[in-house]
Amino acid sequence: MNIYVANLNFKASSEDLEELFTQFGTVDSAKVINDRETGRSRGFGFVEMPNESEANEAIEKLNQTEHMTKVLSVSEARPKPERSNSFGDRKPFKKY
């Protein structure tokens, strides 16, 4: 299950996130999302847990709890919406 974690402290690392969730079970991956230009944390991240019951327990126990002075918002991640290409409905220009 993919888990969305919002309102992370800007100093929290991916390792901090993984450590927080491993108390509930196996963590496949944990990633704090950083700004592309500045490299600074954007204050949210994702955790992937293979066992659904462990993931649900982590969500239930960690949602609205304090971590590194911030109250976390933890929920199942929604699927990423498909993005249309930057050309809208037009076909991209072909190079010959």
Residues 34-73 have pLDDT tens digits of: 999 999 999 999 999 999 999 999 999 999 999 999 999 9
Is 41 contained in some domain? yes
Considering only CA atoms, which of 84, 88, 77 is closest in space to residue 3? 77
**Distance between CA atoms of residues 75 and 20, nearest Å:** 15
**pTM for the model:** 0.81
Residue 86 placed within a domain:
no
Q: Is 20 part of any domain?
A: yes
For residue 84, pLDDT beyond 90:
no
CATH code for position 60: 3.30.70.330
The 10s digit of each residue's pLDDT in 2-42 is: 999 999 999 999 999 999 999 999 999 999 999 999 999 99
Domain span at residue 61 reads: 2-76
| Residue 29 forms part of a structural domain | yes
Residue 67 falls within a domain, yes or no? yes
Total of domains in the chain: 1
Tell me how far apart the alpha carbons of residues 74 and 17 are, in angstroms, rounded to a whole number.
12
